[in-house]
Structure 1
Amino acid sequence: MKNYFNYILIVLISLVTFGCTDDLNTKPLVELSLEELLERDPDAVVGILSRLYASFALSGPDGPGSSDISDDAGESPFLRGIVNLQDFTADGMKNRWGDDGLDQLTTTSDWTSNNKFFRYLYNRAYYTIPQCNNLLNVLTSVDVTNEEAVNAEVRFLRALAYYYIIDVFGKGVLVTENEVGISTPLPEASRTELFNFVESELLAIEPALPARGEISDYYGRATNTAAQMLLSKLYMNAEVYTGTARYDDAAIYVNKVLNEGGYMLASDFRMNFSADNNTSPEIIFPLIADAVISQSFGNTTYIVNGSLSTETMSPNDFGSTEGWTGHRATSAWYGLYCGGVENSDQLTNCDDIRSQLFWIGKDLGTDPDTMEPIDLHSFNMLDYREWTDGYPSTKFRNTNFNGTSTSTSFSGTDFPLFRLADAYLMYAELAIRGAANTSNSEALNYVNLVRNRSNASSITSSQLTEDFIINERARELNLEGHRRSDLIRFNKFTGGSYIWPWKGGTVNGTSISDDYKVFPIPATALQANPNLTQNPGY
Structure 2
Amino acid sequence: MKKSFKFISYFFLFILGVNMTLISCTGDLDVTPDDDDEFLSEAFFQDPASYKKVLAKLYAGLYVGGNDGDGAADIAGLGGDFSSYLRLLFVTQELPTDEAIIAWADGTLPTLNAQTWSPANEFLEGTFSRAFYHISVANEFLRQTSDDKLSARGVDANLKAEIATFRAEARFLRAFSYYNLMDLFGNVPITTENDPVGFFYPEQKTRAEVFAYVESELKDIDNTLAASKTNEYGRVDKTAAKFLLAQVYLNARVYTGTARFNEATVLLKAIIDNSGYTFANIPYAHLFSADNNRNGAQSEVIFPIVSDGNAIRATGAGMSFIMHAAIGGSLDAAARGMDGGWQGLRTRREFVNLFPDTNAIADKRGTFYTDGQTLDIANVGIFTNGFAVTKYINRNANGSAAQRNDIPDIDFPMFRLSDAYLMYAECAVRGATGADIATSVGYINRLRTRANAQQIAASNLTLDFIIDERGRELFWECHRRTDLIRFGKFTGGSKIWQWKGGSVNGSATDAFRDLMPIPARNIQANPTLKQNPGY
Distance of 2:394 and 2:14 partners within structure 1: 27
Q: 1:184 aligns with which of 177, 200, 223?
A: 200
Cα deviation digits, residues 70-89 of structure 1 (max 9, x gap)? 12112111111111110011
Query: How many angstroms does 1:173 deviate by?
Result: 1.0
Distance of 1:354 and 1:389 partners within structure 2: 21
Q: 1:246 aligns with which of 260, 277, 290?
A: 260
Q: 2:163 aligns with which of 133, 147, 151?
A: 147
Cα deviation digits, residues 388-411 of structure 1 (max 9, x gap)? 111110001111113511451112
Aligned to 1:527: 524
Query: How many angstroms does 1:56 deviate by?
Result: 1.2
Tell me: CA distance 1:92–1:477, structure 2 relative to 1, closer, same or farther (3 Å): same
Moved more, 509-518 or 92-101: 92-101
Whether 1:92 aligns to 2:84 is: no
Aligned to 2:135: 129
C-alpha root-mean-square deviation of aligned residues, in Å?
A: 1.5
Counterparts in 2 of 1:300-315, with a 5 A limit? 300-309=319-328, 311-315=329-333
Where 1:179 maps in the other structure, the secondary structure is: coil
Query: How many angstroms does 1:208 deviate by?
Result: 1.9
Query: How many angstroms does 1:19 deviate by?
Result: 1.4
Whether 1:468 aligns to 2:435 is: no
Whether 1:318 aligns to 2:336 is: yes
Q: Residue 337 of structure 1 contacts residue 350 of structure 1 at CA under 8 Å; is this kept in 2?
A: no
Q: 1:353 aligns with which of 356, 364, 376?
A: 364
Tell me: CA distance 1:18–1:257, structure 2 relative to 1, closer, same or farther (3 Å): farther
Cα deviation digits, residues 262-293 of structure 1 (max 9, x gap)? 11222121111111111221111011111121
Aligned to 2:287: 272
Aligned to 2:305: 287
Counterparts in 2 of 1:379-398, with a 5 A limit? 379-398=375-394
Distance of 2:31 and 2:491 partners within structure 1: 39
Where 1:134 maps in the other structure, the secondary structure is: helix
Where 2:126 maps in the other structure, the secondary structure is: helix
Q: Residue 284 of structure 1 contacts residue 418 of structure 1 at CA under 8 Å; is this kept in 2?
A: yes
Aligned to 1:332: 350
Aligned to 1:260: 274
Counterparts in 2 of 1:374-523, with a 5 A limit? 376-402=372-398, 404-406=400-402, 407-523=404-520
Q: Residue 58 of structure 2 contacts residue 138 of structure 2 at CA under 8 Å; is this kept in 1?
A: yes
Distance of 2:41 and 2:218 partners within structure 1: 26
Query: How many angstroms does 1:117 deviate by?
Result: 0.6
Structure 1 stretches of 4+ with a deviation exceeding 3 A read 11-16
TM-score, scaled to structure 2: 0.93
Distance of 2:421 and 2:31 partners within structure 1: 41
Q: 1:28 aligns with which of 32, 36, 43?
A: 32
Tell me: CA distance 1:403–1:316, structure 2 relative to 1, closer, same or farther (3 Å): closer
Aligned to 1:298: 317
Q: Which one-letter code corresponds to 1:330 in the other structure?
A: R
Q: Residue 276 of structure 1 contacts residue 413 of structure 1 at CA under 8 Å; is this kept in 2?
A: yes
Distance of 2:13 and 2:107 partners within structure 1: 36
- Size of the aligned set, in residue pairs, is 512
Q: Residue 18 of structure 2 contacts residue 39 of structure 2 at CA under 8 Å; is this kept in 1?
A: no
Distance of 1:24 and 1:391 partners within structure 2: 43
Tell me: CA distance 1:307–1:349, structure 2 relative to 1, closer, same or farther (3 Å): closer
Query: How many angstroms does 1:13 deviate by?
Result: 4.9
Where 2:20 maps in the other structure, the secondary structure is: coil
Q: Which one-letter code corresponds to 1:446 in the other structure?
A: Y
Cα deviation digits, residues 502-528 of structure 1 (max 9, x gap)? 110011111100110011101111001
Q: Which one-letter code corresponds to 1:429 in the other structure?
A: E
Where 2:228 maps in the other structure, the secondary structure is: coil
Moved more, 63-72 or 284-293: 63-72
Distance of 1:306 and 1:432 partners within structure 2: 37
Query: How many angstroms does 1:64 deviate by?
Result: 2.3
Counterparts in 2 of 1:46-195, with a 5 A limit? 46-70=52-76, 71-109=78-116, 111-140=117-146, 141-142=149-150, 143=155, 144-145=159-160, 146-195=162-211
Query: How many angstroms does 1:67 deviate by?
Result: 1.2
Q: 2:244 aligns with which of 230, 234, 237?
A: 230
Tell me: CA distance 1:402–1:224, structure 2 relative to 1, closer, same or farther (3 Å): farther
Distance of 1:115 and 1:336 partners within structure 2: 31
Where 1:34 maps in the other structure, the secondary structure is: coil
Aligned to 1:17: 18
Moved more, 195-204 or 251-260: 251-260
Q: Residue 16 of structure 1 contacts residue 34 of structure 1 at CA under 8 Å; is this kept in 2?
A: no
Cα deviation digits, residues 366-403 of structure 1 (max 9, x gap)? xxxxxxxxxx1112222222211111100011111135
Distance of 1:213 and 1:57 partners within structure 2: 22
Q: Residue 134 of structure 1 contacts residue 180 of structure 1 at CA under 8 Å; is this kept in 2?
A: no
Query: How many angstroms does 1:38 deviate by?
Result: 5.8
Tell me: CA distance 1:519–1:349, structure 2 relative to 1, closer, same or farther (3 Å): closer
Identity, % of aligned pairs?
Answer: 37
Q: Residue 290 of structure 2 contacts residue 397 of structure 2 at CA under 8 Å; is this kept in 1?
A: yes
Distance of 2:17 and 2:40 partners within structure 1: 8
Q: Residue 23 of structure 1 contacts residue 130 of structure 1 at CA under 8 Å; is this kept in 2?
A: no
Q: Residue 35 of structure 1 contacts residue 138 of structure 1 at CA under 8 Å; is this kept in 2?
A: no
| Structure 2 runs not aligned, ≥5 long | none
Distance of 2:333 and 2:16 partners within structure 1: 38
Tell me: CA distance 1:269–1:198, structure 2 relative to 1, closer, same or farther (3 Å): same
Query: How many angstroms does 1:225 deviate by?
Result: 0.8
Aligned to 1:4: 4
Where 1:28 maps in the other structure, the secondary structure is: strand
TM-score, scaled to structure 1: 0.92
Q: Residue 133 of structure 1 contacts residue 180 of structure 1 at CA under 8 Å; is this kept in 2?
A: no
Q: Which one-letter code corresponds to 1:6 in the other structure?
A: K
Cα deviation digits, residues 171-229 of structure 1 (max 9, x gap)? 211100011414121111111111111100000012321123324xx111111111111
Where 2:223 maps in the other structure, the secondary structure is: coil
Distance of 2:98 and 2:360 partners within structure 1: 24
Query: How many angstroms does 1:15 deviate by?
Result: 4.3
